[in-house]
């Protein structure tokens, strides 16, 4: 997999205030992007810290508050991205519902299911349509990258995995259909991370963390930067003949 370059590109990364989204925004800047707009729902401090990091990399960074529970939000985001950057070459739908940590970790399974379907499925679909409409109006087209989950291909027992698989499996299925609809002007691909060192991984039980390492052929948890490197590749011209494809970043847990 070539690293690819994003020289002069303009990118939107939803959920870019921390974790994987933050890593993707910074990796885009390091790969030569000219401008990166990150969205956040509640973590304004984190989003502005990312913007400051982008500025240190001499990239035009900006933050925009977006709640994917509001179906009008993605269209307004597209308008704002056009106003701030003149257009969007890369749009990453990374934002999703967290049902594993915080207050949502204690909710009922029905509440969790409704939440992830609203944010991860409906939110990703509406945001993808907004990105596609924007990119189709551009002479250069663009690239959409959506985020799924590696275990939708294999399954995992447990209440939370079942709920999460329902949403992220739908994202994967939606994205392959979107890729056919968007071609040839806009490419659509999917990132499917596995066990990654985000807030969930950091808070996980030590014995379970060790178990994950034992069942991972590459012997460790993934880092947000591992996902970000794959995002750079999919967004770059090095992946110019890829659409409707899924890259699993998981150290080989699911093959």
Active-site residue among 40, 64, 115, 164?
164
Q: Could you tell me if 95 and 39 are in contact, meaning their C-beta atoms sit under 8 angstroms apart?
A: yes
Residue 209 to residue 95: CA distance in whole angstroms: 24
| 3 state SS of 188 | strand
Closest CA to 41 of 88, 77, 82: 77
> Strand 186-193's sheet: what is its strand order?
60-65, 35-40, 10-13, 90-93, 142-147, 186-193, 246-249
Q: Is 40 a catalytic site residue?
A: no
Torsion, Cα 201 73 235 166, to 10 degrees, reads 50
The catalytic residue positions are 164
């Amino acid at each position: 997999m070539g690293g690819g370059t994003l020289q002069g590109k303009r990118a939107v990364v939803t959920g870019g205030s921390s974790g994987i989204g933050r890593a993707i925004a910074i990796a885009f800047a390091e790969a030569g992007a000219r401008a990166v707009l990150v969205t956040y729902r509640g973590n304004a401090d984190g989003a502005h810290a990312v913007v400051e990091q982008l500025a240190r990399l001499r990239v035009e960074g900006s933050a925009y508050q977006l709640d994917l529970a509001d179906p009008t939000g993605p269209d307004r985001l597209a308008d704002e991205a056009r106003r701030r950057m003149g257009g969007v070459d890369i749009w990453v739908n990374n934002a999703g519902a967290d049902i594993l940590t915080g207050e949502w970790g204690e909710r009922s399974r029905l509440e969790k299911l409704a939440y992830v379907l609203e944010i991860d499925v409906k939110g990703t679909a509406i945001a993808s349509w907004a990105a596609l409409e924007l990119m189709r109006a551009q002479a250069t087209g663009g690239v959409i990258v959506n985020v799924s989950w590696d275990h939708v291909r294999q399954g995992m027992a447990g209440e939370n995995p079942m709920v999460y698989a329902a949403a992220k499996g739908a994202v994967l299925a939606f994205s392959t259909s979107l890729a056919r609809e968007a071609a040839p002007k806009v490419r659509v691909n999917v990132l499917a991370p596995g066990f990654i060192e985000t807030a969930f991984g950091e808070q996980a039980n030590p014995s379970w963390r060790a178990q994950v390492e034992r069942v991972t052929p590459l012997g460790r948890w993934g880092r947000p930067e591992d996902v970000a490197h794959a995002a750079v590749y999919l967004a770059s011209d090095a992946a110019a003949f890829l659409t409707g494809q899924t890259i699993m970043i998981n150290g080989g847990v699911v093959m």
